[in-house]
Amino acid sequence: MTWVSIDLNADLGEGFGRWRLTDDEELLSVVTSANVACGFHAGDAATMRRVCALAAERGVRIGAQVSYRDLAGFGRRSMDVPADELATEVAYQIGALEVFARAAGARVSYVKPHGALYNRVVHDEQQAEAVVEGVMLTGERLPLLGLPGSVLHTMAEKAGLPVVAEAFADRAYAADGTLVPRGRAGAVLTDADAVVERSVSMARFGVVTSHCGRSVGVRARSLCLHGDTEGAVALARRVRGQLEESGVRVEAFV
């Protein structure tokens, strides 16, 4: 019996030139949505084009993973970017990816902030509003993928944009439902069995055990599987397999 459906997303195209971080081809055989780096934290034109073509071929939805302009820090350093500048740069990144998505016979279907920007817009109204403005500049009502209860989602809904709640299979949660910062011990989970178990719990029951041992509600429509960790492809396959065995239908949210 199918209890619920969930989308599986992963950050892809996170390379630059000859350097590649993620196994895009293999992960695209597992996930249903691809968050494609748009050149600011990783990715270049050739990489974006290649990943869009592969995603379209496999029927995987293409999302623009927008970031602060931070190639050196992989987009994980918080930056105080003026709101109008950030909005323009978000629109620029979406537009760049849209060219290659269209060339592959697809479209950019949603937007997801990356790294420091993702965490910043959970609480920062000005930066969240700038991301929303950047999406609006494209002229498309693209859904925003982000943390449930975030300021980003509040701002997006006020602007009439769809929002999609996201959970993380391999990240530790604080008691308030936010992610434990990457700099803290235990922030990224490496126990494959634990990641699989948490994935099923979040998909079927909407709960996860926090870093301090409390149960936290994380009802989400999409589950993120990080592609930049060791054994990412094998883990992603295990997660999808266990979800389906548990009666969860795996399908894109758009």
- Per-residue pLDDT tens for 190-227? 899 999 999 999 999 999 999 888 898 988 999 999 87
| CA 83 – CA 81 distance, rounded (Å) | 6
197: left (phi over 0), alpha (psi -120 to 50) or beta: alpha
| CA 97 – CA 112 distance, rounded (Å) | 13
- CA-based nearest residue to 111, from 70, 66, 69: 66
Largest CA distance in the chain: 50
| 128-132-136 Cα angle (round to 5) | 165
pTM, whole model, 2 decimals?
0.95
Query: Residue 21 — very low, low, confident or very high, per pLDDT cuts 50/70/90?
Result: confident
SS3 16: strand
Give pLDDT tens digits for 103-132. 999 999 999 999 999 999 999 999 999 999
What residue type is 184 in one-letter code? R
- CA-based nearest residue to 232, from 11, 35, 63, 6: 11
- CA-based nearest residue to 186, from 217, 213, 211: 211
Pull the structure tokens for residue 244: 């389906």
What residue type is 163 in one-letter code? V
User: Which residues are CB-neighbours of 81 under 8 A, at least 6 positions away?
Assistant: 68, 69, 89, 127, 130
Give pLDDT tens digits for 130-165. 999 999 999 999 999 999 999 999 999 999 999 999
Q: In the chain, what are the domain boundaries? A: 4-250
Give pLDDT tens digits for 22-55. 899 999 999 999 999 999 999 999 999 999 999 9
Pull the structure tokens for residue 6: 């969930």
What's the CATH fold of domain 4-250? TIM Barrel (3.20.20)
Strands (E), the chain: 4-12, 33-37, 61-66, 108-113, 144-146, 163-168, 207-209, 215-217, 222-224, 248-250
